[in-house]
Structure 1
Amino acid sequence: MNTRFAAGTYRCRDVFQSASAAVDLGVTWIDTAPNYAAGTAEVSLRPLLDACPQVRVSTKVGFVPPSDRQAAREAGVLPYGGDRGHCLTGPCIAWQLALSRARLGRVPDIVFVHNPEHGRTDRAGLSLVLREAFEALEGAATSGWIGAYGVATWAGLSNGMFTIPELTAAAEAAGGPHHHFRAVQFPVSLLCLAVVADALDGHGALADARESGLDVFASAALGGGELLGAMTRELVRVITPAVSPAQAALLVALSAPGVSRVLLSADTPAHWADALGAADHERLSTGRLRKVIDVVGT
């Protein structure tokens, strides 16, 4: 069993094949979204989830893929003509959750609010959007339609559109002290070392998440594959000797303070086996992480 990784399904060539290879090697969590694989990712995962009830799954709300927009408009849940393809109103969230449950064949363990900063520049306006979304998700969790909820963001935390304390406060406003806000998902990698440097100094998103008791799903740990071509022998040695380039890059994310799971997409069992080998190594020490930051920069 491997609890330090989660199988991501973003940009997978074959969602079922990739996730199956991960599960065969002991990965117990799969992360997906309605808009992944041109809107087919959730349906593709159902046979695997049916066969593996022990595997947990997270999905998302927010982006409505082109294949679903006509149905969403007919249901009256997609405002502004669906031009943006992104909606976090209560009715749209409820509609997407029902669709995801049907496609996955089960209640998702976590539902992430997907890039709530998308297309928005007004922090006050975004705060209202998040409040409505959290109220809808609290209702869904109370009704047993989802296990819990979180926020998956690409840039919302790094660009200051919202903070972990603000998200926690919004959850408390929506659900009281026993709210169902459980996790955040954002990039942590050699390409995003500022968040690691902040955590080592006891502040920033990772430190705030740990203080709030939130699970952190580190996304883009290999930079969408970009990092593999940049992993020189010298850089690998700075991180730790006797590992593959992929393992060295992944160790940085795995070792970042506050990270619960690292999201990874891999196409073949061989790629998965190599990557998962990173979990066999000890986490990098604070001193080693600081050395990596000094060499690579933030």
Structure 2
Amino acid sequence: MRAPDRRIALGLHRSRHQRDQLTNALDLGITAIDTAFSYRGFASHTILADIGRGLLDRFTISTKVGFFPRPGGAEHSLDPARLIGALEQTNRVLGRAPDLVFLHNPEHSLRDAVTGRAHDALARACAVLADATDKGLCGAWGVSTWDPSPLADAIDTTVAKPAVLMVRCGLLVGVHTLRAADLLAHRWGDHSTQVWGMSPFSGNAHDPVWSRFDARVFLRERPDHVTQVQAAFRTAYALPRVSTVAVGTDNPVHLRELVDALTFEVDEQAVLQYRDLLLGGARQDAHKRS
């Protein structure tokens, strides 16, 4: 069994939710689980409590609230009563308070709101999670956002600061999302706010795109045994800069491959040049449109 390494959280978004996933993760030194109230048709917490019996105390658990069941699917809401109700249910089902609770993709409820209303809705949602933390319903709270663009204009110094901000990361993250994530982290972050990443392969580590270019150019050293997947995963920690990445897989070999990737070092200069290329392309597109 390896020593614990908090740079990877086992994501359960597309997971089959099986006990051997948890034991394999522990063997590899992964002691963090990331799930959500809405995963697996709103059954993730129930399944996790069942398959993790006797194991969950060895993990830190992060989860998310913001999506709620409705006939035929799910709906998003920032209503404080619904958020706190979901968090209370999470505590009952897991039999413990989660270590971290994210506000789940708040942009879904903010995108079409005018700035003032968006600010107020987000401020109320953040305040209820901050209060829940004070009351012991969770160890800390954060914000998980797939599209950070609508959030940057909705926050100011009156909106509570999250302990963790989770954003998409990796080589396939578009330049507009990268810039929005950087802006949000700058406006909302301070020395006590962590930034986590998610979806480092944009949902598919086996996409043919990973064989079309050599992601190893972003590593400081390029040993022969490093794979394209490993190089892409390690580089994801720098696009944008994150301390932990939530990544899901039911394949223990793939999970071991990702853990081994953490031994490599990123070439920061290569990443900066890549970002400059993305920004240059975005400026040219904007110039053409104008």
Distance change in 2, residues 1:196/1:139 (3 Å): closer
Paired residue for 1:118?
A: 108
Alpha-carbon distance between aligned partners in 1 of 2:124 and 2:186, rounded to the nearest angstrom: 26
1:257 deviation in Å? 5.9
Displacement, 1:18?
3.4
How far residue 193 of structure 1 moved from its aligned partner, in angstroms, is: 5.3
Q: What residue in structure 1 maps to residue 62 of structure 2?
A: 58
Q: What is the SS of the residue equivalent to 1:166?
A: coil
Q: What is the total number of aligned residue pairs between the two structures? A: 270
Hey, what does 2:131 align to over in structure 1? 139
Return the alpha-carbon distance in structure 2 between the equivalents of residues 216 and 49 of structure 1: 30
Paired AA for residue 233 in structure 2:
L
The separation in 1 between residues aligned to 2:169 and 2:122, in whole angstroms, is 23
Return the alpha-carbon distance in structure 2 between the equivalents of residues 237 and 97 of structure 1: 42
Task: Give the Cα separation in 2 of the matches to 1:53 and 1:163.
Answer: 36
Q: Is the 8 A contact 1:165 1:208 kept in 2?
A: no
For residue 290 of structure 1, what is the aligned residue in structure 2? 272
Q: Name the SS for the 2:68 alignment partner.
A: coil
- Does residue 186 of structure 1 match 2:167? yes
1:253 Cα deviation after fit: 1.5
Find the aligned partners of 2:153 and 2:244 in 1 and give their Cα distance: 18
Given the alignment, which residue of 150, 156, 159 partners 1:170?
Answer: 159
Distance 1:168 1:113, change over 3 A: farther
Q: 1:60 to 1:17 in 2, by over 3 A?
A: same
Identity %: 29
TM-score (norm 2): 0.81
Aligned residue number for residue 26 of structure 1: 29
Task: Tell me the equivalent position of 2:198.
Answer: 219
Residue pair 2:166, 2:198 contacting (<8 A) in 1 also: yes
TM-score w.r.t. length of structure 1:
0.79
Q: Which stretches in structure 1 are left out of the alignment for 5+ residues?
A: 70-81, 173-180
Shift of 1:233: 6.3
Q: Which runs of 5+ in 2 are unaligned?
A: 283-290
Structure with higher helix content:
1
Contact 2:122 2:154 in 1 (8 A): no
Question: Is residue 61–residue 88 contact of structure 1 (8 Å, CA) maintained in 2?
Answer: no
Taking the aligned partners of 2:274 and 2:32, their CA distance within structure 1 comes to 29
Q: How does 1:88-107 map to 2 (within 5 A)?
A: 88-107=78-97
| 1:86 aligned onto 2:73 | no
Quick one: which amino acid aligns to residue 264 of structure 1?
V
Moved more, 242-251 or 163-172: 163-172
Contact 1:4 1:254 (8 Å CA) reproduced: no
Q: Which residue of 1 aligns with 2:288?
A: none
Q: Which residue of 2 aligns with 1:278?
A: 261
Match of 1:262 in 2: 245
Give the partner amino acid of 2:63.
Answer: T
How far apart are residue 127 of structure 1 and its match?
A: 1.4
Q: What secondary structure, in the 3-state scheme, does the structure 2 residue paired with 1:33 have? A: coil
Q: Does the aligned pair in 2 maintain the 1:217–1:261 contact within 8 Å? A: yes
What amino acid sits opposite 1:61 in the alignment? V
Match of 1:175 in 2: none
Match of 1:9 among 12, 37, 44: 12
Contact 2:218 2:267 in 1 (8 A): no
The 1:287/1:231 distance shift into structure 2, 3 A limit, reads: same
CA contact (8 A) 2:118 2:154 kept: no
